[in-house]
Amino acid sequence: METTLRGVGVSHGVAIGEVRHMGTAVLEPPAKQIPADEAEREQGRARQAVEAVAADLNARGNLAGGEAQAVLEAQAMIAQDPELIADVDRRIAVGSTAERGIYDAFSHYRELLAGAGEYMAGRVADLDDVRNRIVARLLGVPMPGVPDSDEPYVLIARDLAPADTALLDPALVLGFVTEEGGPTSHSAILARALGVPAIVALPGAGELAEGTLIAVDGSTGELFVDPSEEKKAELTEAAAARKAALATSSGPGATSDGHKVPLLANVGGPADVPAAVEAGAEGVGLFRTEFLFLDDSKKAPSEEKQVEAYRKVLEAFPEGRVVVRVLDAGADKPLDFLTPADEPNPALGVRGLRSLLDHPDVLRTQLTALAKAAEGLPVYLEVMAPMVADRTDAKAFADACREAGLRAKFGAMVEIPSAALRARSILQEVEFLSLGTNDLAQYTFAADRQVGAVSRLQDPWQPALLDLVALSAEAAKAEGKSCGVCGEAASDPLLACVLTGLGVTSLSMGAASIPYVRATLAKYTLAQCERAAAAARAADTAHDARIAAQAVLSGE
């Protein structure tokens, strides 16, 4: 009998296939003592395993490229953390085996992160994955992971580690469903980059029996167990219709009555550029520069290295707009040379622009590198600061840009509610706003973006979040300036129409989402988008907001 489950749809498309579960195993090694004369040998085994796992993670990152590469390189840094390695050595020196020393040291660090509150919960999952990989290597057993199958399937997991998600084969993995995670978790972001239909935060998914036939709608978040022939035909027909619409969609983003909405790409480095160009991106709305700084957490990259990397991206969009976000370090992206090591709550501490203003040399070098990278290129360079709280922050950033001789527009990201509430004040210092809806939702609802239990509060359809978007867009319009969205909200085609109706002037998203958004926008007039936006804001819940907007756009 057909039943329906609902989670959070995070990657468009429909997948119909049999369930295969992510391999699991208890990788807790036995607690046995070793003689003192074996300690040095065991310490060597531990270090070799750590280096091998770090190398494997970096290799996977190089294969995957883009955002996945940055995530996996961060995991490799976790594996090689000097404090963790020192703790492992101490435990082995007093009698632990290499595998037990690794297990206990990582478990201790895990408790520290968990004790720091939910803000670090997402990092705990990454830490567990690194620990399991090292222990599996030391025990000589396969790392639990993606199942071995000759036939295509739908993958079910509690959550997916970045190292597994990044290298999924779309020819075999038709789609995936996780019990945990949220719309802005690593799994969701990487799923969109791969173009694999996906649902996250679906409790009970793990109880589906191996081999059960299911249908996954990554757009609506619905999972159909034992779907009827009619349901399969309905979903297949809808997917085919969407594919046909995509095939006929091309050119700049615009509503059906010609209101232009530039569709830009979010990129994590040069590796993401080909997909953005192929998707018809009109430029880059968010160029994340963290990938350059993750190579070495001890020091910032040289100006020369930065110039080379930035120029590769700028050259790909002649006459296009490229919006660069300066280094956003802190919270889940700590860097030894920049961020404090002992903050009780890093997500609410010295991160983003705050870190850069504390280290003006790092900011100056990056801005100078951007200026040099853009020299002689016919590109419209714009540079923005992350985590701007007020006009004082905005002025400090604009002053730094001018002092570095940067000939570009200076902007501020709206990720903190205070920035949305005081957007007009901030716009006295900068020339544009860019809404980072992922962090804006996190700070508006006090809901960590990595915690599945609060994923409903991370839903970008939340009316309170739409109110903050509207405030920012209205302020920008009053000042004659632009206000774009570069968070994951822009990748939802229906929500893209609502954002347009709220007054947002550009939308930036993962390259895979651009055709979907372009085709959907082209179906509606600006007036329809405005009515849909008003209906969504009048709702009380995210679910009701989506239903209300859909009703307006479908003419109900």
Instruction: State the catalytic residues.
Output: 186, 486
Strands (E), 220-261: 222-225
Q: Please give the radius of gyration of the chain, using alpha carbons only, rounded to the nearest integer.
A: 24
Closest Cα to residue 366, out of 390, 338, 345, 394?
338
Dist CA 2 CA 315 (whole Å): 52
Listed residue (99, 103, 125) closest to 114, CA to CA? 125
Q: Which of 543, 376, 365, 350 is closest to 463 using CA atoms?
A: 543
Return the closest-CA partner of residue 245 out of 74, 549, 493, 555: 493
Compute how many other C-beta atoms are within 10 angstroms of the C-beta atom of residue 519. 20
Burial 113-132 (b: 16+ CB within 10 A, else e): beebebbbbbbbbbbbbbbb
3-class DSSP state of 143? coil
Strands 3-6 and 506-509: unpaired
Written as six digits, the tokens of 538 are 């009048």
Q: Which residue type does 165 have?
A: T
Element (H, E) at 157: strand 153-157
The residues near 399 (Cβ < 8 Å, ≥ 6 apart) are: none
